[in-house]
Amino acid sequence: MNEKKAILQARQIGKYFHDPVTFKVLDNISFEAYQGEFLTIVGKSGCGKSTLLYVLSTMDTDFEGELWIDGQNISRWSQDKLALIRNEKIGFVFQFHYLLQEFSCLKNVMLPAMKLGKYSLEEIEHKAYEKLDLLGLKDQALKPASKLSGGQQQRVAIARALINDPLIIMGDEPTGNLDSRNSKLVFDILRDLTRTYHQTIIAVTHDNDFAKNSDRTIEMEDGKIIHDGFVRNGNIIV
């Protein structure tokens, strides 16, 4: 393997919740995610996976330790600067769909690119159609988001996460609402992105097959990393 570039680094990340009692939800989390890597995070329900992902996504700034993204320590950055980073470098797929219900699927996909303002409206529209096509939703483009099924909405959300060609795509159970066929489709798309465009995927999942087929899996328990290993032939190697 050639020289790996760390796109995201977590350094001794810790986090507390105080309600109803103070407890440490993340405890000394350290790892690096490399360019073009397909990383999955697994663990029992309530072990802190979503919490960790919110920290990594820069949306949650209330944590200890350091978070580096694309070579910059963004741990103390202002909300506005973080928003720019998210817009440009990070794409999200949430645990539940989360589209803007009053907008068409196409508009939903276009919004982050319109915010970024790097391309003209026509180019953005063209790209949005491409992404929707990739996820098998081209014919649904002009429907309002509220008229789509849960699985369709989730795929639109994935298309939206891809629109700005982000360095990192994060997903909290990105295939949680999908049947096995679509699950496979999404997995293949994400894998393709890591291979062709060297984008990094960090996905929380409960789906064992999904984890097994990824490049590397981090296992959590009670806010700690208990296992971090590369996947070879479906087995995690330390």
Ligand X SMILES: Nc1ncnc2c1ncn2[C@@H]1O[C@H](COP(=O)(O)OP(=O)(O)OP(=O)(O)O)[C@@H](O)[C@H]1O
Sites of contact with Mg ion (CB under 5 A): 50
**Beta partners for residue 201, in sequence order:** 38, 169
Cα separation, 206 vs 177, in Å, equals 12
Piece of the chain touching ligand X by CB under 6 A; list 45-53, 124-132, 145-153, 179-187 = 45-53
User: 58 or 164: whose CB is closer to ligand X?
Assistant: 58
Cα separation, 236 vs 238, in Å, equals 6
Structure tokens at 124: 């953005």
| CA-to-CA dists, residue 180 to 5, 158, 187, 215, angstroms | 33, 16, 10, 20
Cα separation, 137 vs 105, in Å, equals 9
Single residue of 46, 117, 229, 234 touching ligand X by CB under 6 A: 46
**Residue ranges in 23-42 that form contacts with ligand X under rule CB under 6 A:** 25
Are the C-beta atoms of residues 65 and 13 closer than 8 Å to each other? yes
Structure tokens at 71: 């070579």
Q: In degrees rounded to 5, what are phi and psi of residue 210? A: -55, -50
Site string for ligand X, 48-77 (x = CB under 6 A): xxxx--------------------------
Site string for another protein, 110-139 (x = CB under 8 A): -xx-xxxxxxxx--x---------------
Q: Which partner in ligand X, another protein, Mg ion, none is near 45 (CB below 5 to 8 A by kind)?
A: ligand X
Interface ranges with ligand X (CB under 6 A)? 17, 19, 25, 43, 45-51
Interface ranges with another protein (CB under 8 A)? 50, 54, 57, 59-60, 79-80, 83-88, 90, 92, 94-95, 98-103, 107, 111-112, 114-121, 124, 160
